[in-house]
Structure 1
């Protein structure tokens, strides 16, 4: 593939899939700037490996797989673990100075559903995100995650069951 073709194709996929990939990365790392950085890494890898892409699958599927792998690698990294420790310390320090009641209530209502989904184990959270937020078919999800279609269906079913239980418990506890 010639450089002009690669440049054109990269620009096309960046425009077409950039926002989707950032949302996908955010579902893993829960930080918008980090998500953007990881997607930038995805596009760099895409550009470097375009010559070896065989078009056996859709380029979207390939980009999702690269992005997910980037996120998983980041979450295993030493840097991420240190950021988590620093964040924990900062949050603990902030809790010493209570915020106003309205701010707490507003934040609670905005984050409630997202937090419930993010509290799911990663294997369930990723299929829920890809299925409901990205509107991907189970076959596409299976291809992206490199797992059987039936595993995707099982994870979706179990995630729904867990979410239902979590929501019922929250209602019983007065949330």
Structure 2
């Protein structure tokens, strides 16, 4: 699948994938147009959450658009592929400049007080990468958001190819 980097512009682009017939409807960048935050001292909490320094303060940052398998939380055991998702995210971010963008029509923070951001590293949308590699599923709560269909298409392509969790974990 060709990678599409739609965080750098607010111009429309057409998204095509080799595993899907035709092209998805044109998407515009979901970013709000506000200047991105630069994340430093980035550490992976799990497959969809980071801890980073933002403007001198430590923050938890939830990557918009994806839902990675959960690590163990007493009394629940870890979900299948949770460790692999976290490792993959860490490898992607290691030594890279990390930017976090506000997203139109998405709250600034979630109920856990995490910043909700579209994260970009080295020109790559991190959510897109996690979905392509099968390290996460698309976040269904974004159901009506403009990114929802795009991310769901990427997820389905990874599922068809049995990438990551799709080939390793049991799915109902």
TM-score, reference length from structure 1:
0.29
Structure holding more strand per residue: 2
Query: Which structure: larger Rg?
Result: 1
TM-score, reference length from structure 2:
0.29
Structure holding more helix per residue: 1
